[in-house]
């Protein structure tokens, strides 16, 4: 982005034509950055909640002294596991945040780390840890003859990186380039999405049955011999068991489950299987629907039997810059992290990438017990609206001895907090691309100075953890932060050395810390800084290397026992959910990022219930009318909007909207919270306890007083 300033104030945010990744592309959320910084609702100082519920401004350092004392008391009385952290979307966008949090967590010694990823796409981690990973990476959109996209809409979501085939920037241009080369696009989605509009084959499947659909793809591909025998001989195990397991996954069965025709399923599977190169990828759709862990496993099986990975000697598109790595044509075997180490007292869950499942977070706060979470720090997230089962989540957040959130706005979560720390926003701090570099299409790096001065009352997230650690008598250091950044998960897991380091050093500046993290870079930071618009640092193309000797003989496990059981259950029957009229699916909206940006003025003021016009006709409602959307677990009001791109029988609504339970508003003022329709106990996946957050069975009924000018608590509609 290019930012214009006048007298130290942001006046415009524009795309950067000279940036080789974005090439002059920008998304509306990026262009809104200026507004987000200077919005009248922006917090410019820390707040503390008074006993009467109102908030007072307090000096940040004084707040940190209080918070440190209260945390120490909790730890003394109940141990470190009474302290929890929820880190979410905005903690990923500044390089120093997660490593400093990781270094602090290691010193505290708590295992209670939660994040948005276990209510997002952690099925991908489960699948990788159950099957193993081929380290060279997938044949992505830039080198493919075919792409199979299942429940992902990169043209709007900009979801990107090595797991997603698309880079995060300028997805439409990249798709067009690939299609001009002859790439065929297959899209599976209950909505004809912006991405599906470019598909050669669009399968408008009913949601929630992707596992059976993909099993049928495998059935066709293995039957017709459309797989890579040589690759399978060398790198997989379980091929014959998989073949037997999908023998009953006929195109007819998948057709019955998904509402597609057997012929269309066979044609799509054949197109995918007979292409030479290209992979299958998913987004949030299948990972939020039932059987998400199985679905991801079958996606990986499709890629594995086809050998859809880069081979040694091929160009490795993104070897990284700040975190350089050699990609190798070899298998990292299954790891099943959750089977050893810490177990949660709620549900007995192990960790996934060092984190516990967020579906147990509310119970971890509510259920009596010694290591009950009594103090929670929230970093860049809004758990009061994002956690499934909102009522329980808010009850839990309200029950804490100490809730601290670092957030530039007075969000629903902030209103429940004891302290709200006002952070510096993106344009007020220097940063580089270390944390994001896997999302770029090549070895891109950029360093950006702060564009405008940091307002006096705000701190960077890393400074908060630095000062907090110091006040708690467990200092963190530039070295320990760098170590946490050096971890494969960028700040999740921390080594023994970090845990025990006690040497204090003077507080660095952001610049020196960023430089410390860049010491492992393949290009000197000074050289990166010379390219103000960023650059690809690939003087010599990096090639995929041969396997290391220890990795020879490692194989991808196509059908571990637990997956076999899940597959048999999926083929045995639909993921039913009682009597219902529609299936609710998740979706992203263009101008908002989860709960962020709802109040900026340009974006819609609520999250419409998008439905097919014929479904609206059947309900005798018209655009703007209110309906109740009722699941087995809760009920909300939605304001309908006709959308012929949505399959009949499906309602598509975005998440992280709405108010706190009990607050009364017109449905068009702030929208409604779909998390109220979700259970964290029933219909959850094993291992990561992922709730059923898409393909949720709901009954839709017209409200007797359908106009939206009525004020009501949308949680308890008065029909
Ligand atoms: N503008 C904008 N961009 C965003 C976000 C945002 O809020 N706004 N959020 C960001 C975040 S946090 C994330 S995780 C990513 C997500 O990135 P994506 O996953 O690409 O986001 P969605 O638009 O929700 O796309 C999911 C698609 O899955 C479909 N779907 C739902 N259920 C099913 C199902 O059972 N089966 C199949 N096959 N499809 C299904 C939906 O119709 C939808 O089109 O986006 C990121 N980008
Ligand atoms: N029912 C249902 N629930 C869902 C989903 C769904 O599809 N359906 N999607 C799930 C997914 S994929 C995700 S990722 C989660 C999202 O859950 P969260 O990540 O918790 O939600 P966000 O709204 O992205 O929260 C980001 C917060 O960071 C704040 N923020 C903005 N800028 C900064 C900054 O510079 N520093 C700091 N510290 N904070 C900042 C914002 O004000 C906001 O409160 O929701 C999940 N929940
Ligand atoms: Mo997400």
Residue-by-residue DSSP string for 574-629: ----SS-SEEEE----TT-BTTBTTTSSSS-SS--EEE-HHHHHHHT--TT-EEEE
Is the whole-model pTM more than 0.75? yes
User: Which single residue is written with the structure tokens 């209110």?
Assistant: 626
Residue with CA closest to ligand 1 atom 3:
157
Instruction: Judge if the beta carbon of residue 658 lies within 6 A of ligand 2.
Output: no
In angstroms, what is the span from residue 228 Cα to ligand 1's centroid?
31
Does ligand 2 come within 6 angstroms of the Cβ of 409? yes
Q: How far is the CA of 716 from the centre of ligand 3 (A)?
A: 28
Would the CB of 381 count as within 6 Å of ligand 2? yes
Please give the DSSP secondary-structure letter assigned to residue 424. Answer: P
CA of 594 to the centre of ligand 1 (A): 11
151 CB within 6 A, ligand 2: no
Using a 6 Å cutoff on CB, does residue 675 contact ligand 2? yes
463 lines ligand 2 (CB under 6 A): no
User: Separation of 392 CA from ligand 3 center, angstroms?
Assistant: 21
Q: How far is the CA of 208 from the centre of ligand 3 (A)?
A: 19
If one residue of 116, 657, 693, 698 were mutated to test the ligand 2 pocket, choosing by the most ligand atoms within 8 A of its CB, it would be 116
Q: Which two tokens stand for residue 114?
A: 């939660």
**Given the CA of residue 94, which atom of ligand 2 is nearest to it?**
35
Q: Looking at the chain, how many residues does it have?
A: 719
Q: What does the pLDDT look like over 266-296, one tens digit per residue?
A: 999 999 999 999 999 999 999 999 999 999 9
- Pocket, ligand 1, Cβ cutoff 6 A: 89, 120, 150-154, 156-159, 188-191, 193, 205, 207-208, 210, 283-286, 289, 585-590, 592-594, 652, 694-695
Centre of ligand 3 to C-alpha 156, Å, is 13
Ligand 1: which residue has its CA nearest to atom 38? 151
| Ligand 1 atom showing the smallest separation from residue 205 Cα | 38
Other beta carbons within 10 Å of 364:
25
List, in sequence order, the alpha helices (H) in 90-159: 97-108, 123-131, 154-157
pLDDT more than 70, % of the chain: 95
Asked if 621 and 640 touch (Cβ cutoff 8 Å), the reply is yes
Mutate to test the pocket of ligand 1, among 166, 284, 286, 594 (most ligand atoms within 8 A of CB): 284
Q: Nearest bound ligand to CA 257?
A: 1
Please report which confidence band the pLDDT of residue 461 belongs to, taking 50, 70 and 90 as the band edges: very high
pLDDT in tens, 22-44: 899 988 888 888 889 999 999 99
151-174 pLDDT, tens digit each: 999 999 999 887 888 888 888 999
pLDDT of residue 32: 87
Q: What is the pLDDT of residue 719?
A: 26
> Is any atom of ligand 2 closer than 6 Å to the C-beta of 87?
no
Which one of the ligands is nearest to 413 CA?
2
pLDDT tens digits for range 414-440: 999 999 999 999 999 999 999 999 899
Shortest-distance Cα residue to atom 47 of ligand 1: 157
Token representation of residue 199: 């598909």
**Confidence band (pLDDT; 50, 70, 90) for 135?**
very high
Q: Is 48 helix (H, G, I), strand (E, B) or coil?
A: strand
Instruction: Report whether residue 406 contacts ligand 2, using a CB cutoff of 6 Å.
Output: yes
pLDDT score, position 168: 83
Separation between Cα atoms, residue 507 and residue 678, nearest integer Å: 44
Per DSSP, 10 falls in state E
596-644, pLDDT tens digit by residue? 988 776 667 999 999 999 999 999 999 999 999 999 999 999 999 999 9
pLDDT surpasses 90 at 713: no
Distance 281 CA to ligand 1 centre (A): 13
The mean pLDDT value for 499-519 works out to 82
Pocket of ligand 2 contains residue 27 by CB under 6 Å: no
Q: Which helix (H) or strand (E) is 288 found in, with range?
A: helix 284-288
End-to-end CA distance of the chain: 49
pLDDT at 645 over 70: yes
What integer pLDDT is reported at residue 711 of this predicted model?
Answer: 40
710 pLDDT above the threshold of 50: no
Cβ(249)–Cβ(571) below 8 Å: yes
Verify whether ligand 2 is closer than 6 Å to residue 387 (CB atom). no
534 — phi, psi (to 5°)? 80, 165
Q: Which one of the ligands is nearest to 629 CA? A: 2
What ligand is nearest to the CA atom of residue 299?
Answer: 1
| CB of 116 sitting under 6 A from ligand 2 | yes
Nearest CA to ligand 1 atom 39: 151
Q: Find the ligand nearest to 92 CA.
A: 2
Confidence at residue 712, expressed as pLDDT on a 0 to 100 scale:
39
CA of 445 to the centre of ligand 1 (A): 27
The DSSP string of 160-208 is -STTTSS-SS-HHHHHHHHHHTT-EEEEE-SB--TTGGG-SEEE-PPTT
Q: How many angstroms does the Cα of residue 151 sit away from the middle of ligand 1?
A: 7
Burial of 508 (0-12, 13-18, 19+ CB in 10 A): middle
Distances (CA, A) of 423 to 37, 96, 115, 324, 376: 11, 13, 19, 30, 17
**pLDDT 10s digits, 175-227:** 999 999 999 999 999 999 999 999 999 999 999 999 999 999 999 999 999 99
pLDDT of residue 708: 43
How far, in Å, CA of 515 to CA of 449, rounded?
A: 13
Which ligand 1 atom is at minimum distance from the Cα of 587?
24
Bridge partners, 379 (sequence order): 87, 406
Q: Please answer whether residues 251 and 219 qualify as being in contact, where contact means their C-beta atoms are separated by less than 8 angstroms.
A: yes
| Ligand 3: centre distance to CA 148 (Å) | 21
State the distance from the centre of ligand 1 to the C-alpha of 536, rounded, in angstroms. Answer: 29
Give the residue among 215, 222, 185 at the shortest CA–CA distance from 202.
185
Whether the Cβ atoms of residue 246 and residue 218 lie closer than 8 Å to each other: yes
* Per-residue model confidence as pLDDT tens digits over 44-90: 999 999 999 999 999 999 999 999 999 999 999 999 999 999 999 99
Cα 503 to ligand 3 centre (Å)? 37
pLDDT of 508 above 90 = yes
Confidence class of residue 15 from pLDDT cuts 50, 70 and 90?
very high
Distance 117 CA to ligand 3 centre (A): 7
Give the closest residue (by CA) to ligand 2 atom 2: 655
**Highest-confidence segment of 117-131, 474-488, 574-588:** 117-131
């Amino acid at each position: 982005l290019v930012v214009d300033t006048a007298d130290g104030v942001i006046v415009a945010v524009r795309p950067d034509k000279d940036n080789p990744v974005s090439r002059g592309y920008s998304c509306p959320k990026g262009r809104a950055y200026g507004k987000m910084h200077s919005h009248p609702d922006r917090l410019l100082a820390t707040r503390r909640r008074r006993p009467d519920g109102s908030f007072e401004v307090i000096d940040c350092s004084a707040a940190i002294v209080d918070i440190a004392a209260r945390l120490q008391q909790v730890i003394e009385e109940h141990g470190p596991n009474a302290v929890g952290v929820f880190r979410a979307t905005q903690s990923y966008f500044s390089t120093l945040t997660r490593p400093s949090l990781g270094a602090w967590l290691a010193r505290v010694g708590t295992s209670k780390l939660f994040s948005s990823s276990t209510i997002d796409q952690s099925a991908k981690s489960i699948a990788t840890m159950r099957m193993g990973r081929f380290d060279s990476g997938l044949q992505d959109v830039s080198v493919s003859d075919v792409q199979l996209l299942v429940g992902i809409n990169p043209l709007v979501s900009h979801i990107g990186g090595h797991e997603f085939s698309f880079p995060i920037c300028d997805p439409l241009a990249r798709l067009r380039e690939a299609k001009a080369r002859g790439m065929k696009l297959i899209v599976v989605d209950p909505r004809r999405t912006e991405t599906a509009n470019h598909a050669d084959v669009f399968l408008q499947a009913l949601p929630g049955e992707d596992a059976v659909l993909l099993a049928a793809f495998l059935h066709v591909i293995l039957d017709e011999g459309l797989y890579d025998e040589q690759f399978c001989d060398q790198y997989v195990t379980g091929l014959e068991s998989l073949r037997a397991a999908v023998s009953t996954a006929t195109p007819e069965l998948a057709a019955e489950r998904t509402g597609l025709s057997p012929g269309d399923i066979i044609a799509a599977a054949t197109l995918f299987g007979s292409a030479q190169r290209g992979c299958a990828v998913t987004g949030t759709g299948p990972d939020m629907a039932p059987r998400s862990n199985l679905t991801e496993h079958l996606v990986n099986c499709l890629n594995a039997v086809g050998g859809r990975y880069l081979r040694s000697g091929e160009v490795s598109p993104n070897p990284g810059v700040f975190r350089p790595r050699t990609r190798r044509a070899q298998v990292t075997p299954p790891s099943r992290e959750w089977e050893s180490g810490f177990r949660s007292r709620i549900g007995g869950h192990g960790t996934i990438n060092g984190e516990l499942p967020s579906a147990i977070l509310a119970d971890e706060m509510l259920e009596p017990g010694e290591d009950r979470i009594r103090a929670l720090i929230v970093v860049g997230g809004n758990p009061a609206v994002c956690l499934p089962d909102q009522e329980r989540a808010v009850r839990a957040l309200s029950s804490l001895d100490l809730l601290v959130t670092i957030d530039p706005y007075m969000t629903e979560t902030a209103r429940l907090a004891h302290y709200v720390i006002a952070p510096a926003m993106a344009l007020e701090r220097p940063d580089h691309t270390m944390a994001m570099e896997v999302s770029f299409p090549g070895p891109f790096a950029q360093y950006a100075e702060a564009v405008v001065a940091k307002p006096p009352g705000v701190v960077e997230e890393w400074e908060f953890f630095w000062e907090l650690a110091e006040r708690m008598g467990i200092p963190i250091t530039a070295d320990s932060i760098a170590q946490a950044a050096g971890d494969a998960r960028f700040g999740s897991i921390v080594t023994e050395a970090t845990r025990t380091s006690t040497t204090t050093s003077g507080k660095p500046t952001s610049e020196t810390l960023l430089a410390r993290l860049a010491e492992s870079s393949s290009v000197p930071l000074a050289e990166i800084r010379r390219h103000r618009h960023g650059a690809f640092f690939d003087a010599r193309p990096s090639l995929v290397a041969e396997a290391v000797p220890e990795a020879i003989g490692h194989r991808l496990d196509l059908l571990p026992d637990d997956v076999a059981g899940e597959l048999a259950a999926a083929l045995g029957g639909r993921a039913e959910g009682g009597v219902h009229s529609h299936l609710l699916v998740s979706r992203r909206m263009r101008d908002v990022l989860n709960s962020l940006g709802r109040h900026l003025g340009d974006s819609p003021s609520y999250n419409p219930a998008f439905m097919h016009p014929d479904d609206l006709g059947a309900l005798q409602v018209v655009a703007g009318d209110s309906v109740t959307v009722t699941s087995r677990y809760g009920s909300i009001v939605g304001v309908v909007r006709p959308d012929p791109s949505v399959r009949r029988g499906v309602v598509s609504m975005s998440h992280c909207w709405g108010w706190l339970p009990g607050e009364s508003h017109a449905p068009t003022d702030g929208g409604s919270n779909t998390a109220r329709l979700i259970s964290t106990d029933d219909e959850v996946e094993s291992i990561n306890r992922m709730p059923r957050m898409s393909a949720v069975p709901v009954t839709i009924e017209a409200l007797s007083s359908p106009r939206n000018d009525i004020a009501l608590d949308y949680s308890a509609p008065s029909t």
